[in-house]
Amino acid sequence: MEKHWPELREQLLSGTYQPQPVKRVALPKPSGGIRNLGIPTVLDRFIQQSVMAVLQRRFDPTFSKASYGFRPGRSAHQAISQVQSYVAEGYSWVVDLDLEKFFDRVNHDRLMSAIAKRAKDKRLRKLIRAFLNAGIMENGLVKPVNQGTPQGGPLSPLLSNLVLDELDQELTRRGHRFVRYADDCNIYVRSQRSGERVMTSITRYIERRLKLKVNAAKSAVARAGERKFLSFGFELGMGKQPKRSIAPQALARFRQRVRELTHRHTGKSFQRIMDDLSRYVRGWGGYFGYCETPKELARLDSWVKGRLQAIIWRRWKTPKNRQKQLKQRGVAEGLAHGTAWSNRGVWRLSHGIAMNMAFPASYFRRFGLPQLCPVER
């Protein structure tokens, strides 16, 4: 920067700076399909981050209170809490809108028009337009683009909020109760009939006015308890407040990832397994610990503990060594002998009384493994 900043500064001020094409990177989505990212060069990321830091302070106060994604001081947990409040008030039907390939379909002219209303500096607008038109490099070839904002650049989240703010204002004008996190938008109504009417009118508005596409296959009108939002669901009881729960898809992904980290043929030391597993569980628990279903978290804790006990059981290898190790960990001789020489399967034995006595939850916490359920067991 010391060497090149004077030249870069002059290009930015004169409006002659030319961004480089973004690198196309395809990542699999957890729910299936492919997410195409556009990764800018280091220099372009630096400049985009600088632009975003200035525009965020200017644009964010103008955004809707119902928008929670990629905004300072706002989070997914706040969005989930707002949904829970709407459902508790009786708005238990949801119009779940899925925007098909949103980042790839953003209309450049409409986006630049929205920027022009908030930023008068022509050089800034020219720079943003240059980022939008920089092109995509894929397999060594550069492809031009005339729509979309690359998902992966620092500026893209702010631009996406700018595009969808028009939708937020329209929903507010119509008096709807809604929550939006990036391109995930849910509208809450009191009945299925109202939901179907809203789905039809809002879909028409999005496709005709915003020039975006609603994915009919993934969008739906349903009871709030039947749909997930930001990987959370809601348990609706008769006359009870709705409880935040973890969506089944998120639970399945957690179990699959833990299986990968604790695979019998991993070849890693037990300490390395614990380090990798602890990092994943800590991050997962930091997000999904916001649920209100502690029994589900307790079951996951028990299941993870069983996976680790199975690793230990297999690494003891022989019945003689298993009996010896169990006795050393305070298990009575008769129980240790009966468990070590049993012909039952590994999974059942690793979850048995002897292994649970030998390895309480506190043993694994000494390795740094966090407990998902706060209740001591």
Which residue in 63, 272, 73, 84 sits closest to 171, CA to CA?
63
The pLDDT value recorded for residue 375 is 58
Which residue in 101, 83, 100 sits closest to 231, CA to CA?
83
Neighbours of 344 (CB within 10 A): 9
Rounded Cα gap, residues 288 and 253, in angstroms:
12
Question: In which residue ranges of the chain is pLDDT below 70?
Answer: 31, 238-239, 375-377
**Residue the block writes with tokens 């067991």:** 377
The pLDDT value recorded for residue 377 is 40
Cβ–Cβ under 8 Å, residues 258 and 274: no
The pLDDT value recorded for residue 374 is 74
The pLDDT value recorded for residue 183 is 92
The pLDDT value recorded for residue 27 is 86
Query: What is the b/e burial string over 256-283, where b = at least 16 CB atoms within 10 angstroms of the residue's CB?
Result: eebeebbeeeeeeeeeebbeebbeebee
Rounded Cα gap, residues 180 and 169, in angstroms:
12
Rounded Cα gap, residues 65 and 72, in angstroms:
12
Cβ–Cβ under 8 Å, residues 234 and 245: yes
pTM: 0.89
Task: Give, as one character, the DSSP assignment of residue 67.
Answer: B
The pLDDT value recorded for residue 104 is 87
